[in-house]
Amino acid sequence: MQPLLHNVRGKWQDALCWMRKDTVLCVGGKAHPTCTGVTGKNEEQMKKISYYFCIMVFSVLFAVSAFVVARQLWEESKDRNLYDSLAQQTTQQTDGLTMVGDKAVLPEYAALYQQNQHMVGWITVPDTKINYPVVQTPEQPNYYLHRDFNGNEAACGCPYVQENCDVDKPSDNLILYAHNMKNGTMFGELDKFQRKDFWDTHRTLSFDTLAEKRTYEIVSVFKTVAESDSPVVFPYYQFVDAESKEAFDAFVERSKELSLYDTGVSAVYGDKLITLSTCEYSRKNGRLILLAKQVEPDEP
């Protein structure tokens, strides 16, 4: 009787199987043939599910990435078209000044100034994409950091003058900021001046105020770090008006010491300077700076 009961109990134990994921668990410790067959089917189904799940995940990631890239390209195209259209409005140049309200303005900038009275000038660097209106908002210093000329949100922003600089007077040092965009727009192509051979054939730039055309000769091109305790930091942004001849000379001398190459050009007390500042990505908070002095249009 006992052998018979034992035999029956053993068969029931073998038959009581269940699956957890792709593992077969049996009460009696043996894999039942029926359970093994089901497991094989389950493994195949799980592989199919995993395959389709991966396809779905990659499809979603691809769609999101494509959307981000397409949006970025669209925004870059939109920004480029805006600034190209603004540049086209400055091509017809005539002599004299025209009045816009109570402001005397060069005729080529009159329409743009009417459009945006934050405009204080126009910056051009030959053989680069730098050909833009320049704005200034003393009460909101970084207003145009991520806004275009029309005041709309834009990653590229618009070149602007540091809030405590006086463009018309002018200050001893006018400091202009713009982004170093990967597509070369804004001040992105200041990078070209890291090569002495480029500077050698591009030694001047122009910055027109609303009422006066100005030409500048490049004094130095250097890298530094902004707002840091690093020993290589050079707080160029703190120099706007020289307190003395010694302060002016010290500023120019330091910029020459840091210069990537010797331009053979210097500045003396009484010269008017312009500083173009943009980001430089070889180190944290890096800045690439181009310093130039005002000269007569027929110089150097």
Q: Does residue 38 sit in the same domain as residue 164?
A: no
C-alpha span between 205 and 121 (Å, rounded)? 13
In a domain, 49, yes or no: yes
CATH label of the domain that carries residue 173: 2.40.260.10
Whether 8 shows a pLDDT value over 50: the answer reads: no
Query: Do residues 6 and 26 share a domain?
Result: yes
Mean pLDDT of 20-49: 57
185: which 2 tokens?
């727009």
Q: Are residues 280 and 248 in the same domain?
A: yes
| Same domain (yes/no): 33, 157 | no
pLDDT at 22: 43
Q: Tell whether 193 is covered by a domain.
A: yes
pLDDT digit string, tens, across residues 48-57:
788 777 888 8
DSSP per residue, 210-263: SS---EEEEEEEEEEESS---TT---GGG-SS-SSHHHHHHHHHHHHHHBSS--
- Strand, coil or helix: what is 177? strand
Q: Is the pLDDT of residue 35 over 70?
A: no
Confidence band (pLDDT; 50, 70, 90) for 2?
A: very low
Percent of the chain with pLDDT over 70: 81
Tell me: do 34 and 162 sit in the same domain: no
If asked whether residues 34 and 8 sit together in one domain, one would say yes
- Tell me the mean pLDDT in the region 213-219: 97
Range of the domain at 169: 97-295
Task: Tell whether 29 and 136 lie within a shared domain.
Answer: no
Residue 130 lies in a domain: yes
Q: Both 120 and 45 in a single domain?
A: no
Q: What's residue 73's pLDDT?
A: 63
Is 79 in the same domain as 208? no
Q: Where is the domain boundary, 88, 112, 131?
A: 88
**What domain count does the chain have?**
2
Which run of H or E residues covers position 135? strand 131-135
Contact yes or no for 120/135 (Cβ under 8 A): yes
Same domain, 105 and 63: no
Task: Look at residue 300 in the predicted model and tell me its pLDDT.
Answer: 57
Mean pLDDT of the chain: 85
The residue length of the chain stands at: 300
Judged against a pLDDT cut of 80, whether residue 41 lies above it is answered with: no
257 lies in the same domain as 134: yes
The pTM of the full predicted model, rounded to 2 decimals, is: 0.77
The verdict on residue 300 lying in a domain is: no
Residue 25 has pLDDT above 90, yes or no: no
Q: How far is CA 7 from CA 12, 13, 16, 17, 227, in A?
A: 9, 10, 15, 17, 85
Q: Which residue has the higher pLDDT, 246 or 6?
A: 246
Q: Are residues 141 and 289 in the same domain?
A: yes
What long-range pairs does 101-110 form, CB within 8 A, spacing at least 24?
Answer: 103/210, 104/210, 104/211, 105/210, 105/211, 106/208, 106/210, 106/211, 106/212, 106/213, 109/208, 109/210
Banded model confidence at residue 94, pLDDT cuts 50, 70, 90: confident
Domain boundary residue, one of 88, 115, 135: 88
pLDDT at 275 over 70: yes
Number of other CB atoms surrounding residue 30 within 10 Å: 14
Which pLDDT band, with edges at 50, 70 and 90, does 199 fall under? very high
Alpha-carbon span 202 to 189, nearest angstrom: 12
pLDDT at 274: 98
Alpha-carbon distance of 164 to 238, in angstroms, equals 10
Residue where a domain terminates, one of 58, 88, 118: 88
